[in-house]
Structure 1
Amino acid sequence: MDAEEATTMLSALAQSTRLNVFRVLQDQGAEGLAAGLLAQKLGVPHNTMSTHLKVLEQAGLVSSRRISRSVIYRADDRAFGQLVDFLGRRIAPEAEPQPAAAEARRKA
């Protein structure tokens, strides 16, 4: 991961709704969640949710797959783990590895 990729990911997560979307998707695990259900769960209009999911997907933080008429999104824990590792190495290289990064690597 380079600084540009990290900046893109951090920018995507710097908006509160997108951060909440990512957290919910992490909690869902590999099964993911349909965009419509995600919008309903967070109380966000469907068209707004689509925009947020697009930003997260373009940043590499979520992936999607179509199942019938639904689009299922899931968090990319491996990409998030790489971001955490990048930040740890670049910003605080002497710090101990964080449990979140280790957990993300185990899930990948």
Structure 2
Amino acid sequence: MEHKTATHALAALGHATRLSVFRLLVQAGRGGRLAGEIATELGLPGATLSFHLKELSAAGLVNAEPRGRSICYRADFEAMNGLIGYLTENCCAGEADCGPGGQCAPPR
């Protein structure tokens, strides 16, 4: 992942509402959630949700698929894992136990 791409993704996730939307989509898994379900779950007006979904989509973190008259949104797990990998790729100088899944606790 490029630095510019990571910066854009982190900026998108740096807003409380967008982070809540993204976490909800991560919890939904590969099946995703319909826009109306997301709005109801988070108590957001449709226009507000649309704005935040557009930002997450522009950052490459969310994909949309039309389903009849609704749209299903899904977290882009490849992008999410790429961002996590970018953030941790040189953690603790590449020690085997460090990084995602490991317990990273650099000495003080």
TM-score (norm 2): 0.86
Residue 89 of structure 1: how far off its partner (Å): 1.9
- Partner secondary structure for residue 44 of structure 1: coil
Instruction: Please name the residue that 1:94 is paired with.
Output: 93
% identical aligned pairs: 40
Larger Rg: 2
Contact 2:89/2:99 (<8 A) preserved: no
1:22-41 equivalences in 2 (<5 Å): 22-41=22-41
The 1:32/1:38 distance shift into structure 2, 3 A limit, reads same
Q: Where in structure 2 are there 5+ consecutive unaligned residues?
A: 103-108
Instruction: Please name the residue that 1:106 is paired with.
Output: none
1:45 aligns with 2:45: yes
Count of residue correspondences: 99
Cα distance in structure 1, aligned partners of 2:38 and 2:70: 12
Q: Where in structure 1 are there 5+ consecutive unaligned residues?
A: 101-108
- Partner secondary structure for residue 72 of structure 1: strand
Cα distance in structure 2, aligned partners of 1:3 and 1:93: 19
TM-score (norm 1): 0.86
Q: Which runs of 4+ in 1 moved over 4 A?
A: none
Instruction: Please name the residue that 1:69 is paired with.
Output: 69
The 1:42/1:11 distance shift into structure 2, 3 A limit, reads same
Deviations 1:64-98 (A, max 9, x none): 000100000000111010001011125x3526121
